[in-house]
Amino acid sequence: MCGIAALFSRRDPISPGVISRATQSLWHRGPDGQRHWIARDKRVALGHARLSIIDLITGDQPIASEDERTRIVVNGEFYGYESIQRELENAGHRLRTRSDSEIALHLYEDLGAQCLHRLRGEFAFVLWDEKHRTIFAARDRFGIKPLFYAFHEETLYLASEVKALFAAGVPARWDAESVFHSVEFGGHQVRTLFQDVFQVPPGHYLVATEDHIQLIRYWDFDYPKAEVAGGLRSDTDCIAEFRQALEDAVRVRLRADVPVGCYLSGGLDSCAVLGLAAKHHPEPIRAFTLTFDRAEYDEEKEAREMAANAGAELVPIPIGQDDLADRFADAVLQSETFCLNAHGVAKYLLSKSVRNAGYKVVITGEGSDEILGGYAHFRRDMLLYNKAGQDPGTVAELLADLNERNPVSRGLLLPDGEVKPLENVRRLLGFVPSWMETFSARALKMQDLLAGDFRARFGGSEAYYPLFTDVDVRSQLAGRDPVHQSLYLWSKTMLPRYILTVLGDRMEMAHSVEGRVPFLDHHVVEVVRSQPVTQKIRGMTEKYVLREAVRDVITDTVYRRQKHPFLSPPATLNPAAKLSTLVQDTLRGAVFGRIPFFDQKKVVALLDNLQAMDEGSRVAIDQILMVLASASVLQNGFRLSV
């Protein structure tokens, strides 16, 4: 994994200093070398900050084709690249490196945009095609690797992180409407919090010439219609099919020219990954796990049992409220978005410890919940919208039990309190996904904290309307099982915008660590999407097919354990600790007062009332305070204007 930057000017020559500043701002993504190339006419520039993992000797970028008319910079990993290298060489290509990155360059020469269907892995890349004077940029199917762009003063800018765009000269400004969307529903898949800064959506590529810029989709989930999903296949067949796909995805992600470690919690996902990886790794794997000082958030016991079961070396990394406070601002500036919990800061500290231990590569369990219905709100959807033939009283009892057994999910993954009307969603889908109700309840709590003119400007718009302008409802949602619809919408919003950012790439690459996610191997996802929803949620058991497929490589404790979301203890539960003090000071401070979207007096009144709230309410409110505090960090760190 690396950091990439590119500029394509329609008018003025590109200064070497501009592409150099952009590349240097990504040093944390690629400390092993920063290089750039500028075209002879000075209208195109490519920059690359390298983290060397495959081909440590000859893999420097940008990489040029044989005739030097095509060049590429890549952030990511392509799996199964060796066979494609042989295929390219047999077709007459002369490879300059032995790195996996170069295959994308030559596949593009042969296949154009269709090369994307040959690529397997986590990636974002930018390619300059001199023959057609075209920029071709692409992002992997799920948004594991980031890719941002902006068009400013007749120049197209692309980079792995927004800070590189700012370093190259793109103005650093809030996008007020996007801030409102983020408060309402987490934001959609194209826009960012920053004015005129956009993302290449997952599963899309961007084509830019001197006359136009176009985004084109090359992959989507394509869930089958409800009446044909899964057919009459047996559990045994589904489990075997899934096991084969997942085990292969884990196996190929162990390929590296540097040591590979594993992130481990007490959850099914990371335990499954470790169990399968241990089967294919010649030596004991080092497994890194976070520990917390509140029992309901700590999973060291389960992780230790699993590590022993897999023959792995467990490395516990204790995290306290002081640690979270000390690195809160650093982690938020890396994420470049709002946070809902300090779990992103914990992941930041985890990655730092991993790098200090000498590791550049880890395999992680992210993405499983998004494809297998792991979160509590998906089980709630199953109860509410797949209840044909069920006794209403039993459904009510199960809903109550779901809420009672998931107290840490209150307000984060399950609705808490009154919900804003979502009739537009109901009209489009015929139901309201539970995660949208959860976000709507949180947005309602935040409504009184918004500045009056900001709320007046955007508050009258229908919630979620902007989200559905980005989604092909007819071809991707209509006629699908409600749980599949809910999974799809979550995977288009929270997966790339939050899970893979705040808990994934940005926290890992902050310390030059590459995270590999076998659950988001597209072969695995294409297996899962074809299986009926009952393979994902069976009764109140989430991720049924995964649980059964890996039963032989996980502990009985993990097999029987219900999903616990990865969260750090909320600051509101520790009022005397440093993180709580940081949040209080931040939200009462001058920087927060300069943000035009929030009413500081009302925020202070909320802070003054915290100790009068019950514990459950403080857990739910913590998410709101985290959003506000992270907004203050972004305001200060990037000197944002409106």
Measured distance CA(175)–CA(496) in Å, rounded: 19
More confident residue, 179 or 55: 179
- pLDDT at residue 169 is higher than 90: yes
> 304: which 2 tokens?
């230790």
179 within domain boundaries: no
Query: Last residue of some domain: 544, 567, 590?
Result: 567
pLDDT digits (tens, 9 = 90+) for 95-152: 998 889 999 999 999 999 999 999 999 999 999 999 999 999 999 999 999 999 999 9
What percent of the chain is predicted at pLDDT more than 90? Answer: 81
Peptide bond connecting 62 to the previous residue in cis, omega within 30 degrees of 0: yes
Identity at 387, one-letter amino acid code: K
Question: Which of these three, 567, 582, 606, is where a domain ends?
Answer: 567
Report pLDDT for 563: 83
In a domain, 27, yes or no: yes
Report how far residue 576's alpha carbon sits from residue 597's, in angstroms, rounded to the nearest whole number: 29
Same domain for 468 and 505? yes
95 and 213 both lie in a single domain = yes
User: Which pLDDT value is given to residue 401?
Assistant: 80
Query: In Å, what is the CA distance from 452 to each residue of 52, 125, 439, 447, 457?
Result: 50, 42, 21, 10, 9
Distance between CA atoms of residues 301 and 264, nearest Å: 11
Exposure letters 303-325 (e unless 16+ CB within 10 A, then b): bbbbbebbebebbebebbbebbb
Q: Residues 89-108, buried b or exposed e (16+ Cβ, 10 A)?
A: eeeebebebbbbbbbbbbbb
Range of the domain at 438: 220-567
Please write the tens of the pLDDT for every residue from 224-278: 998 665 567 899 999 999 999 999 999 999 998 889 999 999 999 999 999 999 9
Strands 204-208 and 148-152: unpaired
pLDDT at 468 over 60: yes
Whether residue 65 is contained in a domain is answered as yes
Task: Give the torsion sign (CA, 354, 357, 361, 362).
Answer: negative
Using alpha carbons, select from 42, 142, 48 the residue that is nearest to residue 517.
Answer: 142
Same domain? For 28 and 90 the reply is yes
In a domain, 556, yes or no: yes
The verdict on 104 and 124 lying in the same domain is yes
Whether 389 and 285 share a structural domain? yes
The structural domain count of the chain equals 3
584 lies in the same domain as 620: yes
Average pLDDT over residues 521-530: 97
Cβ pair 98, 109 in contact under 8 A: no
pLDDT digits (tens, 9 = 90+) for 292-350: 988 889 999 999 999 999 999 999 999 999 999 999 999 999 999 999 999 999 999 99
- 463 pLDDT more than 90: no
CATH number of the domain that residue 165 is part of? 3.60.20.10
Identify the pLDDT of residue 188.
Answer: 81
Are 247 and 210 in the same domain?
no
Domain presence at residue 542? yes
Q: Is residue 186 part of a domain?
A: no
Gap between the Cα atoms of 642 and 415, Å rounded = 32
State the pLDDT at residue 230.
53
Question: In this structure, are 10 and 126 located in the same domain?
Answer: yes
Same domain? 140 vs 255: no
Is 281 among the domain residues?
yes
Whether residue 201 sits in one domain with residue 343? no
Q: What is the pLDDT of residue 405?
A: 76
Q: At what angle do helices 343-356 and 321-335 cross, to 10 degrees?
A: 90
Helix residue ranges, H only, 161-262: 162-168, 176-185, 235-252
DSSP notation for 553-582 = GS-HHHHHPPP----PPPGGG-TTSHHHHH
The pTM of the full predicted model, rounded to 2 decimals, is 0.95
The total of other beta-carbon atoms located within 10 Å of residue 618's CB is 18
User: Which pLDDT value is given to residue 622?
Assistant: 94
Task: Render pLDDT for 369-406 as a digit per residue (tens, 0 to 9).
Answer: 999 999 999 999 999 998 666 677 777 888 888 877 77
- Work out the average pLDDT over 34-48: 96
Q: List, for residues 180-203, the tens digit of each pLDDT value.
A: 999 988 888 899 999 999 999 999
Q: Are residues 231 and 115 in the same domain?
A: no
Over residues 547-568, the pLDDT tens digits come to 999 999 999 999 999 888 899 9
Which region, left, alpha or beta, applies to residue 623 given φ > 0 means left and ψ of -120 to 50 means alpha?
Answer: alpha
How far apart CA 208 and CA 151 sit, in angstroms, is 11
**The predicted structure's pLDDT at residue 74:** 96
Query: Does residue 480 share a domain with residue 625?
Result: no
Q: What is the end-to-end Cα distance of the chain in Å, rounded?
A: 33
In-domain check, residue 183: no
CATH number of the structural domain spanning residue 491: 3.40.50.620
Which among 527, 545, 567 is the end of a domain? 567
